[in-house]
Structures are given as structure tokens and as C-alpha cells.
Amino acid sequence: MSQFTSPEDAKALRCPLARTFGDDKPLSSECQGHVCAVWRWKPISAKDPRFTKAINEEIDRLHAEHKAEHPLSDRKKDGFHQQAVKNVSADREAHGVPSEPELGFCGLGGVPLL
């Protein structure tokens, strides 16, 4: 199993603190996921395939747009990378990239090694 999990899948994990606090009734032994103060989200990586795919598509779009406006230009696709990242980051969901993290981890043991 990955060191990172969705809050839903985290319910299958046992919480080491579940029975060490609380007043009368013991808490569930299930991990409470993102509602727990110890839960930490894993940021979406710049290497996420959805992000890199969106960047490449945006580079292609910007390059095609540039070529249409400047047919004699020899500007290469690499020259559009920075603008593509800016465009995708400005509206991630329109480019198929989640704007919120999806996976997380119990922060009791610190940050998992990547």
C-alpha cells in the first residue's frame, strides 16, 4: 500500500490514538482521515501525469496560436513552457488538473519518504 491514501481509504487503517483520548465513549478505531487534526494532505506534484499532460497540451495550443499569427516565426515549443504553466495553474480544473489534493497521510509519524 502507498504511504499516501485518500481519506475514504484511510478508514481501513487503525488509528493508534483511537482509544487514548475521549471522554466516556471510546472513539472508533478507524482513521478519521481529513477531519482529524493530525491528517496532512500530500500536495499535487508538478510531475503528476495530469499536470504534465495539461502543460504539453497548452504548449501545443500556444505554439499553434503563435504560428497562426506569425507564420514566419521560428520560435520553438520550449519557449511557451512558462506561459503554459501559468495558464494551467490559473485554472487547473479547466485543464483536467485537480485544484485540491486528493491523497494524504497520518502526520503522527512525520512526512513519509517519497
Q: Contact residues for ligand SF4 (CB under 6 A)? A: 15, 17, 31-32, 36, 38-39, 106, 108
Measured from the CB atom, the residue of 14 and 76 that comes closer to ligand SF4 is 14
- The alpha carbon of 92 is separated from its chain's Cα centroid by a whole number of angstroms, namely 11
Measured from the CB atom, the residue of 12 and 64 that comes closer to ligand SF4 is 12
Report in angstroms the alpha-carbon separations of 103 from 12, 75, 96, 106. 15, 39, 17, 11
Helix (H) or strand (E) holding 69: helix 49-69
Q: Write down the least CB distance from residue 77 to ligand SF4, Å.
A: 43
Q: Write down the least CB distance from residue 4 to ligand SF4, Å.
A: 12
Measured from the CB atom, the residue of 5 and 87 that comes closer to ligand SF4 is 5
| Torsion sign (Cα): 70, 71, 75, 79 | positive
